[in-house]
Chain A
Amino acid sequence: MGTRLGRWHISLALVFVILGFLLATAFNTQRLIGERSRPRKQNLIDFIKTRRNERTNLGKELVERRTELEHQGSRITGSQDVVTAYGEKLEGLRKRSGLTSVKGPGLEVVLRDAPRVPTGADPGNFLIHDYDLQIIVNALWRGGAEAIAINGERLAAGTGIRSAGSAILINSKPQGEPYRIKAIGGTKALAAMLKIDNDARLLVSGYSQKYGLVVKVMTKKVLKLPPYYGSTKLTSLKEE
């Protein structure tokens, strides 16, 4: 019956070859799955960390370059009287645009989530949301703020304040509580506007008490705001 090689049948050897092959493949597969699933999260974390560092470094470099450019510009404006007027205008625009670090008196508003959420209550009511920050920022602009930064992120022309999951993105960088809003401007006017502006008043003295949100408003003699680290590249915009 069948082909034999000594005591053993060839077909038996064939099945053993298949068995060995499957064993090795299963071993490889299992090792691959294990390798993949375990450090994947770590890889992702490392990736995010390196990219974050990269971005911070690039942002710093950008500011350095801008300062350099400014120096070059001021050298030119200094040597040529004709362009002095333009130079001053440029200087003013630069300060307003948020591309330079600035200091001055102003207001600091600190917002925190409620420390406790009662059982059964909607937890959303006890958190600081992107629109809460928007309300405060809008009221501060309305009150004549000249520069605003949230958690060290300077608000510039392209700044957005939006939520992504549980984090709030400011200049596309995730921020967590406490949210420190620093605004340079007339301290009295700013503080007054937080009471005049309906939404801001509701948040500062209404909801905060009702839900236990922590909202602190402090007057500061000197506030230092960092420059905007983001890109100012314009691709679609053309001057009319």
Chain B
Amino acid sequence: MIPILGLVTGIALGLILNIPVPALMARYLGIALLAALDSSFGGLRANLEESFNERLFIGGFLFNTIIAGLIVYLGDNLGIELYLAAVVAFGVRLFQNLAIIRRHFFKVHHWE
């Protein structure tokens, strides 16, 4: 319930503040969004597995976001689409986490 509440609050905040992001920064926004998605589902999974470590979670979120941003920046300057690497890495993890969360729900509700 609380994660959904947080999500709704965030969306409302974003829509109300309506901060315009310049087109050049849109890529970085996308990467930040992916990092946030990855962390959220990772955290959700860890919470369901009762193995949630707050420090690890927050640290991972910040670290991943910063590194992803740096990779995009590096790629932009070298003329290589390095941001794709971040997209793929986050994307794969996202699906893995989703799969584990799904299994967890199956187990809890005895649908197996």
Contact = CB atoms under 8 A, between A and B. Distances in A.
B112 interface: no
Contacts of B80: none
B2 A19 contact: no
Contacts of B19: 25, 28
A33 interface: yes
Interface in A1-41: 1-3, 5-30, 32-33
Dominant SS at the B interface? helix
Given A8-B1, A32-B20, A19 B53 contact: no
Contact of B13 (A5, A24, A26): A24
Nearest to A24: B14
B61 A5 contact: no
B23 A22 contact: no
Given A15-B61, A22-B14, A8 B3 contact: yes
Contact of B10 (A3, A19, A28, A30): A19
Contacts of B17: 25
Nearest to B54: A2
Nearest to B2: A8
For chain A, the bracket of interface size reads: 20 to 34
For chain B, the bracket of interface size reads: 35 or more
Contacts of A8: 1-3, 47
Nearest to A37: B23
A7 B44 CA distance: 11
Contacts of B13: 17, 20-21, 24
Contacts of A18: 10, 36
A26 B25 CA distance: 10
A208 B9 CA distance: 74
Interface in B39-68: 39-40, 43-44, 47, 52-55, 57-58, 61
B43 A23 contact: no
Contacts of A12: 2-3, 6, 40, 43-44, 47, 52, 57
A22 B33 contact: yes
A28 B52 contact: no
B14 A15 contact: no
A13 B21 CA distance: 24
12 contacts: A7-B47, A11-B57, A12-B43, A12-B52, A13-B3, A17-B9, A19-B6, A20-B11, A20-B14, A21-B10, A25-B19, A33-B23
Given A6-B1, A17-B9, A25-B19, 13 more contacts: A2-B55, A8-B47, A12-B2, A12-B40, A15-B58, A16-B6, A16-B7, A17-B10, A20-B9, A22-B29, A23-B33, A25-B14, A28-B20
Interface of A: 1-3, 5-30, 32-33
